[in-house]
Amino acid sequence: MSVCDVTLLCNYPKCRTKLSGFAWVTACSHAFCDQHGSGEFSRSPAICPACSSALSGKLDIVRTELSPSEEYKAMVLAGLRPDIVLDISARALAFWSYQVHQERMYQEYSFSRAAVRLKQLEKMLSQQNQSRELELTAMRGEIASQKKVMEEYKRQYGEVSERLMERNRQYQKLRGLYDSLRLRSMVVGERERPTQPGHHDYNTGLARQAIPQRSPQFLSLGLDGDSRFFSCLEADGAKTFFQFSSPAQD
């Protein structure tokens, strides 16, 4: 990149914009944009915002056009002796050289600050990575211990399950024996129990009724009286009927 391609920047610390149009130039070789130059140099006494130098002279601050017209360039140095023209040109080139050097120094300073910041960030990142590695190692150890505990629980659960199944098998076996013994005792008890009239058989659920004796046949009474009623009874049946039906005599 040639020298002509270099663009001056505003020397105001918080601006750093490219200069175009009009710029404020100071005797301490600093240049400012039109906005900050008008604001800073309107006060008295004027102080350079870049180096804090007092600018009390009449020509210590100049507002110049960065892209002058052809007429201005033709007349600004006209009539001056060559040594004066060369002196003015040398001073202008010195101002330009100082601005380029200052910009290079500023870029180097910014780069050094960025490098320091980068080293700090790398150090912090390395510390964080180390702490994360330690935490990860601790978590891996905890996971391994938890896996061992889980395996032990699985083994204990398998043993308990096997014992439970064995107890269930024993219980089913004892339950079968109990049911068979209970059924056998019920059958033996039914065989030994005497059969009585009117006794209810719980095994079959049938009530055994005693066979009744033959009852006398009653005929309807006619108009003749009670003689026909007693004549229809058998001898034994009538006797039995009156014996159990008549009230006792004193």
For each of the domains in the chain, give its residue range(s) and CATH number, in order of start: 1-67 (3.30.40)
5-59 per-position pLDDT tens digit: 678 899 998 888 999 889 999 999 899 999 999 888 888 888 998 888 888 888 8
> How far lies 82's CA from each of 73, 76, 88, 94, 96, in Å?
16, 13, 10, 18, 21
Give me the percent of the chain exceeding a pLDDT of 70.
75
79-91 per-position pLDDT tens digit: 999 999 999 999 9
37 token code pair: 């130059």
3 token code pair: 């020298």
Give me the percent of the chain exceeding a pLDDT of 90.
46
Tell me the longest C-alpha to C-alpha distance in the chain: 192
What residue type is 166 in one-letter code?
A: E
CA neighbor of 231 nearest in space, from 179, 222, 34, 18:
222
127-143 per-position pLDDT tens digit: 999 999 999 999 999 99
Give pLDDT, residue 175.
93
Element (DSSP H or E) covering residue 133: helix 82-192
On the 0-12 / 13-18 / 19+ scale of CB atoms within 10 A, 118 is exposed
Average pLDDT, integer, range 162-182: 93
Band the pLDDT of 2: cuts 50, 70, 90.
low
What is the average pLDDT value for the chain, to the nearest integer? 80
